[in-house]
Structure 1
Amino acid sequence: MSYVLGIDLGTSSLKGILMNEAGDLITTKSAEYKIDTPKQGYSEQRPEYWVVALEAVLTGLSVEVSDFGQNLAGISFSGQMHSLVVLDENNTPVYPAILWNDVRTSKQCAEITDKLGSRLLEITKNIALEGFTLPKILWLQENKPDVWARVKKIMLPKDYLSLWLTGNTYTEYSDAAGTLLLDIEKREWSKEIAETFNIDLSILPELTESTGQTGLIKAEIAERYKLSKAVKVFAGGADNAAAALGVGLINEEVGLISMGTSGVVSAYEPKIADYKGKLHFFDHTVPGAYYSMGVTLAAGNSLNWYKETFGKGLSFNELLSEVYTVAPGSEGLLFTPYIVGERTPHFDSKIRGSFVGISAHHEQRHFSRAVLEGITFSLRDSKDIMESTKGKKFKQLISVGGGAQNPDIMQMQADIFNAEMIRLTVEQGPGLGACMIAAYGCGFYDTLEEVTKAFVHYKEATFTPKPANVARYEKVYQIWKKAYQATAELSHELVDFNEEG
């Protein structure tokens, strides 16, 4: 039986998922690499780190799986979004990749907004934020003109690996949409934006669908790992888009709740929707479709911070063991998870987290529940925008990440979102979406819907809303939403005070 390989290029590691054409997991391999932080606010990686990691994964697979080289049919990718890779005429990197979580570009974001105004949102359906690619390009132009003069091709991280495997320079729409250079409606690079910022369109890679074939694996690489020279390479998708495919987000009836370090709420969009910049809006890996996305910057990060600060030495199970004994609303205690600022719906880098309503009778179990509730309320902010702006009604929400393993958190999500929550039997993340793209591209299935049925499986047990809890949480949530306005001015003053020293 043939194999497909999904390569997930993350921020700190590369993971390879090997599956057969029936959707069975064969094995996984991973390799880590470092993030370089030469200055405060800088986050960089050298593209060669990714190549070394991919070589390690390919070596590990060829050693462990005896028929890996003989039966590998296709490779595809998922990858960290927005990060800037710049190459010279020989496709050699001329500067470290500036990563999505690099925050040196506030000045450039203001410049983009000032020069383009409403046109930016009209063309790209997104607003300028430090994470996107265009501000990084402007920073390079302004601060490293000697480097910029040598740039002959701009790439995104996963596409650099595709280039290494095939020799061809492509990107696909889901990653291109995260650059602030794509005209989403026309599905082409925006000449208007490129000309505004003196970017030659010829240095941008050719666009294709996520399922588009970008080439065959190079002969020398095939020989090195004893692979067939007919191994096909497919474009893949940005990590959030690939993850959406990998959980089965391929219709409007389901939504995705992901609680990792950050929290993400995603919805399938069959056509272009205008959220006025309140949500991110990108192309999906499903050809011709899109997805909307709201982000809570510190979801799991808030829980980790709380554990390390107030529960040091405890496991998460111990820390959360009594949250079920506390009634919804944590007996009047609220938590806002703004410990690193917030994205959706406030786009406020200076807001900070808070506990509100602390009383002498509150114990650690109340604080634990309040933290979980605050994270979930913040995620609900994004879901409410989807519902109020476009009238979405989700029949089910797919929950992934650490919260999906805890029944108390799952029930809390069901009650706060007032929706049935479902879980995957096994979570493989964005790499599974990459495998699915390769399986479709290789012709193993006629549609992505068929691929999804074969590759994505859910647990039978679901979590349904409890009406009494839903009613109580609705009241608490309306109070919780007022906390942002009540603390924003204080937060901003404290941040400025601290920065002044």
Structure 2
Amino acid sequence: MKYVIGVDLGTSAVKILLVNQVGEVVDEVSKTYPLYQEKTGYSEQNPQDWVDQTVAGLSDLLKNFSGDPEDIEGISFSGQMHGLVLLDENNEVLRPAILWNDTRTTVECQQIYEQVGKERLLAITKNPALEGFTLPKILWVKKHEPEVFAKAATFVLPKDYLRYKLTGKIHMDYSDAAGTLLLNIREKTWSKEICDLVGLDLTLCPPLIEAYDQVGTITSEIAKATDLSPSTRVFAGGADNACGAIGSGILEDGRTLCSIGTSGVVLSYEASNEKDFQGKVHYFNHGAPGVYYTMGVTLAAGYSLSWFKEVFVHEESFDDLLGEVHTVPVGSKGLLFTPYLVGERTPHADATIRGSFIGMDGSQERKDFVRAVLEGITFSLNESIDIFRKNGKTIDTIISIGGGAKNEEWLQIQADIFGAKIVKLVSEQGPGMGAAMLAAYGCKWFDSVKECANTFLKKEKEVFPNKENVEKYKKLFAIYQQVYPQTKEINEQLKSFRE
């Protein structure tokens, strides 16, 4: 039996999967590392921590592996998007990595709009300037740490730095490059126009490759440290959301992913780059050959539920918390929740807005509030689906992964609010499985990524929408959409009291 390894470099931990030729996860290892938040809005990590913990994880994986290391043919990566790793001429790290959830760059986003123009930026990158993206971070360092920036020879994203330390090769794949605001999405080239307008040298941008391209083999040092074979082939890998799409089978029209973790993502397959969503959702290069995906984000999806649990029922398990949700009627007895606990991304890119419970009365019980939280998270995700459909997309099948797939009633709520069939997978490994599938495809186990998905991914169950509930939720969704515009000004007035 042959094997591949998928490495998912997340924000809190690296997860490593050993997968065989029929898609079975033979072993998995997870290693955590710290997050540094020196000031409000700052979020950084030490890139060496990623390397050390990945090497330790690979070593543990090999210690548990009873087969021949030569049978582990390839390794590929999924990684947190947008994070900035600045390197000098010797590829040494110049400062801690600035992560995707760092929000210090509001001024730099405005600078990009002033220098490039909103319409021109959208035309080239198909994305708006948001604090999470990479270009604003580069401009922040240039402005606030000029002595550091003066030494910068190139930049990479987190998984690219990790791959460099395993192979000695510097590259960036298109799916991650699409999240920098420097890539011409249509032409799949770095945009000299944007670089010139914001005052960056084009040579700062690393060589571009496909997510399934082989970049080399592991170095002898890494082979010695991990017990992997020196012949282990290393493939570029992709952005976590692109790999999540691959690992969930989002590889044809009509298929959409709903991933509910701390944040929530609705991601849909796009066969071309021709659609125009006016920057309301993200538009990125896929990890699969020649295609794209669009994506909307709810910043506090699963976080809204964990927040409710920690604040009100800290001592209970999630299973206990959700145990009576099925007894609560659609609409939670007239109670609405908006999950804007840390601001919102789609369709309202608003860092100031905050969450609300609307419609509270004395008859409601804890279980009503819990269902309202689940419905509110799902309504927020449905805003992205609503945008997709209004722009001509057909969405009939949604793969649900993460926290939203772990509760039967929540799966039904998704089917009813989204008005689509919900599919739960047998093995839900998301981005890590997507990375392993890129390695399997790169190793020529399959003729296409889709063929790989047909072998690796199995359905556990399908949940169909209840027509009566669909109609009720359509009315409730229209009410939900009124909450943001009617509370926006109130939250702006409250902002000074939160500081």
Given that 2:55 and 2:225 are in contact with CA atoms closer than 8 Å, whether structure 1 keeps it comes out as: no
Deviations 1:395-425 (A, max 9, x none): 2111111121111101111111111111011
Given that 2:125 and 2:178 are in contact with CA atoms closer than 8 Å, whether structure 1 keeps it comes out as: yes
What is residue 37 of structure 1 aligned with on the other side?
A: 37
1:307 and 2:309 are equivalent in the alignment: yes
For residues 52 and 228 of structure 2, what CA distance do their matches in structure 1 show?
18
Shift of 1:430: 0.5
What is residue 321 of structure 2 aligned with on the other side?
A: 319
TM-score, length of structure 1 as denominator length = 0.97
What is residue 108 of structure 1 aligned with on the other side?
A: 108
* 1:38-437 superposed matches below 5 A: 38-67=38-67, 69-117=69-117, 118-272=119-273, 273-389=275-391, 391-437=392-438
For residues 449 and 257 of structure 1, what CA distance do their matches in structure 2 show?
19
Shift of 1:45: 0.9
For residues 217 and 178 of structure 2, what CA distance do their matches in structure 1 show?
25
* 1:461-480 superposed matches below 5 A: 461-480=461-480
User: Which amino acid in structure 2 is aligned with residue 111 of structure 1?
Assistant: Q
Given that 1:341 and 1:348 are in contact with CA atoms closer than 8 Å, whether structure 2 keeps it comes out as: yes
Shift of 1:230: 2.1
Secondary structure (helix, strand or coil) at the match of 2:18 reads strand
Given that 1:61 and 1:68 are in contact with CA atoms closer than 8 Å, whether structure 2 keeps it comes out as: no
Deviations 1:450-469 (A, max 9, x none): 1101111111x321111111
Deviations 1:409-448 (A, max 9, x none): 0111111111111101111120100000000001111111
Structure 1: tracts of 5 or more residues without a match: none
For residues 253 and 120 of structure 1, what CA distance do their matches in structure 2 show?
28
1:485 and 2:485 are equivalent in the alignment: yes
Deviations 1:27-59 (A, max 9, x none): 011111001122221111111001101110121
1:9 and 2:9 are equivalent in the alignment: yes
What is residue 496 of structure 2 aligned with on the other side?
A: 496
TM-score, length of structure 2 as denominator length = 0.98
Given that 1:68 and 1:227 are in contact with CA atoms closer than 8 Å, whether structure 2 keeps it comes out as: no
Secondary structure (helix, strand or coil) at the match of 1:332 reads coil
Secondary structure (helix, strand or coil) at the match of 2:459 reads coil
Secondary structure (helix, strand or coil) at the match of 1:291 reads strand
For residues 48 and 267 of structure 1, what CA distance do their matches in structure 2 show?
34
Secondary structure (helix, strand or coil) at the match of 1:330 reads coil
For residues 449 and 317 of structure 1, what CA distance do their matches in structure 2 show?
35
For residues 113 and 42 of structure 2, what CA distance do their matches in structure 1 show?
22
Q: Calculate percent identity across the aligned residue pairs.
A: 51
| Equivalent residue pairs, number | 497
Given that 2:309 and 2:321 are in contact with CA atoms closer than 8 Å, whether structure 1 keeps it comes out as: yes
For residues 122 and 457 of structure 2, what CA distance do their matches in structure 1 show?
34
User: Which amino acid in structure 1 is aligned with residue 193 of structure 2?
Assistant: E
Deviations 1:372-397 (A, max 9, x none): 111111110000000001x2222211
Flag as ranges the 4+ runs of structure 1 deviating above 6 A.
none
Per the alignment, do residues 218 and 471 of structure 1 end up closer, same or farther by CA in structure 2, a change over 3 Å counting? same
Given that 1:62 and 1:68 are in contact with CA atoms closer than 8 Å, whether structure 2 keeps it comes out as: no
Deviations 1:166-194 (A, max 9, x none): 11111100000000000001110000111
Secondary structure (helix, strand or coil) at the match of 2:485 reads helix
For residues 169 and 314 of structure 2, what CA distance do their matches in structure 1 show?
50
Given that 1:9 and 1:158 are in contact with CA atoms closer than 8 Å, whether structure 2 keeps it comes out as: yes
Shift of 1:68: 5.1
Shift of 1:264: 0.7
Structure 2: tracts of 5 or more residues without a match: none
For residues 232 and 96 of structure 1, what CA distance do their matches in structure 2 show?
29
For residues 133 and 58 of structure 2, what CA distance do their matches in structure 1 show?
30
For residues 140 and 78 of structure 2, what CA distance do their matches in structure 1 show?
26
For residues 480 and 193 of structure 2, what CA distance do their matches in structure 1 show?
42
For residues 72 and 367 of structure 2, what CA distance do their matches in structure 1 show?
51
For residues 312 and 152 of structure 1, what CA distance do their matches in structure 2 show?
48
For residues 278 and 496 of structure 2, what CA distance do their matches in structure 1 show?
29
Given that 2:217 and 2:232 are in contact with CA atoms closer than 8 Å, whether structure 1 keeps it comes out as: yes
Given that 2:55 and 2:226 are in contact with CA atoms closer than 8 Å, whether structure 1 keeps it comes out as: no
Per the alignment, do residues 322 and 225 of structure 1 end up closer, same or farther by CA in structure 2, a change over 3 Å counting? closer
User: Which amino acid in structure 1 is aligned with residue 123 of structure 2?
Assistant: E
Given that 1:210 and 1:237 are in contact with CA atoms closer than 8 Å, whether structure 2 keeps it comes out as: yes
Shift of 1:229: 2.6
For residues 338 and 218 of structure 2, what CA distance do their matches in structure 1 show?
49
Deviations 1:45-78 (A, max 9, x none): 1110011011101210121103352211111000
For residues 204 and 87 of structure 2, what CA distance do their matches in structure 1 show?
9
User: Which amino acid in structure 2 is aligned with residue 129 of structure 1?
Assistant: L
For residues 428 and 19 of structure 1, what CA distance do their matches in structure 2 show?
11
For residues 333 and 438 of structure 1, what CA distance do their matches in structure 2 show?
47
Given that 2:56 and 2:226 are in contact with CA atoms closer than 8 Å, whether structure 1 keeps it comes out as: no
User: Which amino acid in structure 1 is aligned with residue 203 of structure 2?
Assistant: S
Given that 2:115 and 2:198 are in contact with CA atoms closer than 8 Å, whether structure 1 keeps it comes out as: no
User: Which amino acid in structure 2 is aligned with residue 341 of structure 1?
Assistant: G
Secondary structure (helix, strand or coil) at the match of 2:76 reads strand
Deviations 1:451-497 (A, max 9, x none): 101111111x3211111111111111111111111111101110134
Output the aligned Cα RMSD: 1.2
